[in-house]
Amino acid sequence: MDLKPYRDTWLPDDRHANFKSEVACYTVADPLPTLENLSKGTGIPVGCLIRYVLVKYAASGSEALMAMDPIVFRQMKEHVERAEEDGSEAAKLRAYTALKDMIAWLKLG
């Protein structure tokens, strides 16, 4: 498996733009030195540690995403605040659509 940084571009209205931005940000760092040091210290092979990290993250579902970084809650709150400040039905519909997309993303786990 090739663990390379995520480099891409996307449209501002891409429903996965926030996630793509996070992946691009977090994949800049190389996790292997940390895992190699952990491997040396514990005697657990690096490949097993990589598998552990991936399975633990994937198995914890959307709770892990929310616990690791509450950015999604801040973003949801900002959508609602903008809609309330604007007050228009169009702004409320935009906020609803944004919140619906975010909830759908969180359900993916």
Bin 73: left if φ > 0, else alpha if -120 < ψ < 50, else beta. Answer: alpha
69: Cα separation from own chain's centroid: 8
Residue 49: which of 36, 59, 64 has the closest Cα?
A: 36
Binning pLDDT at 50, 70 and 90, where does residue 10 land? very high
* Per-residue model confidence (pLDDT) at position 61: 64
Model pTM score: 0.51
Q: In angstroms, rounded to a whole number, what is the distance separating the alpha carbons of residues 58 and 90?
A: 36
- Least Cα distance to 105 among 66, 52, 51 occurs for 66
